Structure 1
């Protein structure tokens, strides 16, 4: 159920969220996301999610056939105006079902899974209705838009153009049912649950992390922002203070954390050649909770000099060989009783070890 909630919310309505990025705290919206699926899947055929700003508050699907509250902060919650809510459910379901079948026939889609969605929202600023609209999409492509305040429609599908009689009926439904219900419901939630819905923004934690990709050997540089609320955020990855093109990046989906906050990750795959060029990568984040942008930078470390590494290895090997030789000769002389006769050889070995960086104390430990 939760996956359906998130899936339905983020499928193609991201552009709506961008309309109110960094909006004033006295601006609020109530939105209804409905999803109708044609074809066999593990999900219910029809789902609806009601959200205040970006917080899910109510849920319905064709499996349970009832509206339930998802407000975990209050038990035994009741759904008000049940009759009107039931009407909205039936109206949206019939509209999505008919529109979906119209498009499947139009595009000759007789097999596979196809998704039709609608997004309805009202937006209050200073407790005044400023926006109200209804948008639909089929398989992720926008097909229809209706402005509930000006009662104008825009569609890419000729079959969806309303005749005058239908237009007058829909105008009356939006004016007398959808708009008043949307505003009443939004105001009620903001009043009854203001401690949750009107909470202050939570500052994101930002970092740049890197890891080696196991298959390609490339380095993945990721900009990670987490723990922020509300969900609207702008994350950009810079290379030498210039934005990295979106086509080079992966990720970018805002995902929920378990504590009511959100997270987002954007990643760039960097080749070994690019690493040698030592570009500076900066993660810059803009959010309602911070006055200025948050910037976190990362720069690859300089690669080790292979000549220097080889010289050090050779020196270590030579030193090890001298120490081993000294130990063997010392033990041999002790065994044969020839220590006095070979004291000159001991002296030459000690001098050699000192020249190679071994201290007097180290040499004494070797021979004693």
Structure 2
């Protein structure tokens, strides 16, 4: 296994990479003590910027910090967007939706996820934007026509209004086809190998109890474009597994897990199962066989437990003996002191 991992470390191949710039916007009304507008921006899944209506603008990643030092005009552009244009625009959009539903007050939340993806080989750029309102999917932008698609019947009225807003249409067209792609390309060009790198994970098999599912955990990989599956006889399983989400680690890498239910797996069949990790840009897969000696759990072997219990009993006995001896010693000493006092 170690030899396989060492070989894979050098299996980086030239392949196209799909880069992404994503922004997440929350505009709310009627919620005290939180900003009415919050914006976060990610480049290739790394959080780079945060701002809100409290006039707070933070650059979150070291690469982003050095990028804005070199290109301060981009930081100023985001500052103007964050503190002026975006809050006003999304407040108007929130008010527009409240008007559609005849809502004069109360707590309401508009959320938007958008941005662009860029293929560095074909130079193809795809923009996207989706709106949620009060916790439900609402509208999605058609990137070809820059008109809105209603995701719910009650969103049709909002679609008609927003499609008729020429200023809004120009805003989305310029953002998704010009500003965001230009920002992403310049950022990727500056970050270079930091974003193009590939890091392989460590893969472990974990199990809480003998009857629990076996979890295959891959952690420490980059980029996030990866897959983790259980296979039986080389065929991917779908019915007996539970897939977890890809989650970020504190160091900028990612982790993910997939559970295999053992209720229908006999011990004789274990060797037919394996966990397979695939990472974008790396030819070879990391394959981990389902074997008992590879599974890590919280159980302690009975022989070890016996030794531990015996040792604990002995230690406790010594403590009790020592305490009893000390009490006897103090008692006798006290009697001797009393004897001395009475003789005086």
TM-score, with structure 1 as normaliser: 0.60
SS of the residue 1:258 aligns to = coil
SS of the residue 1:218 aligns to = coil
How far the C-alpha of 1:49 sits from its partner, in A, is 1.2
**Residues 255 and 139 (structure 1 numbering): CA distance in 2 closer, same or farther, change over 3 Å?**
farther
SS of the residue 2:213 aligns to = strand
- Written as runs of structure 1 = structure 2, the 5 A alignment for 1:193-342 is 193-197=191-195, 199-212=196-209, 218-245=211-238, 248-271=240-263, 274-276=265-267, 278-279=269-270, 280-299=272-291
- 5+ long unaligned stretches in structure 1: 1-21, 302-368
CA root-mean-square deviation: 3.7
Whether contact under 8 Å (2:216, 2:257) holds in the other structure is yes
How far the C-alpha of 1:55 sits from its partner, in A, is 1.6
How far the C-alpha of 1:200 sits from its partner, in A, is 1.4
**2:3 matched residue in structure 1:** none
TM-score, with structure 2 as normaliser: 0.64
Whole-angstrom CA distance in 2 between matches of 1:60 and 1:32 = 11
SS of the residue 2:164 aligns to = helix
Whether contact under 8 Å (1:96, 1:117) holds in the other structure is no
**2:4 matched residue in structure 1:** none
SS of the residue 2:38 aligns to = strand
**2:140 matched residue in structure 1:** 145
**Residues 281 and 27 (structure 1 numbering): CA distance in 2 closer, same or farther, change over 3 Å?**
closer
**Using CA pairs below 8 Å that are at least 6 residues apart, which structure has the higher relative contact order?**
2
Are residue 60 (structure 1) and residue 51 (structure 2) matched?
A: yes
Whole-angstrom CA distance in 2 between matches of 1:226 and 1:192 = 27
**1:123 matched residue in structure 2:** 117
**1:31 matched residue in structure 2:** 22
Instruction: Return 258-267 or 34-43, whichever deviates more.
Output: 34-43
**2:80 matched residue in structure 1:** 83
**2:188 matched residue in structure 1:** 190
How far the C-alpha of 1:284 sits from its partner, in A, is 1.3
Whole-angstrom CA distance in 2 between matches of 1:61 and 1:121 = 18
Aligned residues: 268
Whole-angstrom CA distance in 2 between matches of 1:91 and 1:24 = 42
Whole-angstrom CA distance in 1 between matches of 2:82 and 2:123 = 23
Whole-angstrom CA distance in 2 between matches of 1:282 and 1:45 = 49
- 5+ long unaligned stretches in structure 2: 1-12, 294-344
How far the C-alpha of 1:231 sits from its partner, in A, is 0.8
How far the C-alpha of 1:251 sits from its partner, in A, is 4.8
**Residues 101 and 167 (structure 1 numbering): CA distance in 2 closer, same or farther, change over 3 Å?**
closer
Which structure has the bigger radius of gyration? 1
SS of the residue 1:270 aligns to = coil
Whole-angstrom CA distance in 1 between matches of 2:14 and 2:156 = 35
